[in-house]
Copies of this chain bind each other. A is one copy, B any other.
């Protein structure tokens, strides 16, 4: 009977799978008119959501400071994915909203992810893929957002 795979293979493969999907997503996104999207942008746009949000709240969701969130919003605003509007009900707040272009990028991302998933299903079979998703869901239940990735992995 074969020995168990070494323990370090599991996290490595999980990361490689993630990275492969994200890279393929962005290759295709670039082809479809969004060449400036960075991996993190999609997560930020998702975190902003259809209702819009503020820099402080966005920072909380992403696990970074409000200044960092504001900086990211600056970039996304400059790229045309979001816009800032004054909140008529609270003069302190400036609500960050998705533009049409921002919504388009999310819609295309969703479509591309479906296609990529279908590719996995062709290789693995739908049953195996569902089992894989189900098992991952079982092991990672909980907080889907928590994207304090900037600075999490790196760091001297």
Which residues of A does B touch, CB under 8 Å? 4-22, 25, 38-40, 71-72, 74-75, 109-110, 112-117, 120, 123-124, 128-133, 135-140, 144, 149-150, 152-156
Instruction: Evaluate contact between A15 and B14: CB separation under 8 angstroms.
Output: yes
Q: Is the CB of A156 within 8 A of B71?
A: yes
Task: Please state the number of chain copies in the assembly.
Answer: 2
A135 to B135, CA, bound (A): 12
Q: Known: A40-B153, A131-B131. Is A137-B22 also a contact (CB below 8 A)?
A: no
CB pair A12–B144 under 8 Å, yes or no, is: yes
With A and B bound together, what is the CA distance between A40 and B151 in angstroms?
A: 10
Cβ contact of A11, chosen from B5, B113, B115, B135, cutoff 8 A: B113
Q: Which residues of B contact A74 (CB under 8 A)?
A: 156
Q: In the complex, which residues of chain B have a beta carbon less than 8 angstroms from the beta carbon of A15? A: 14-15, 18
6 new A-B contacts, CB < 8 A, other than A4-B114, A11-B113, A38-B154, are A12-B144, A13-B137, A39-B155, A71-B156, A72-B156, A123-B138
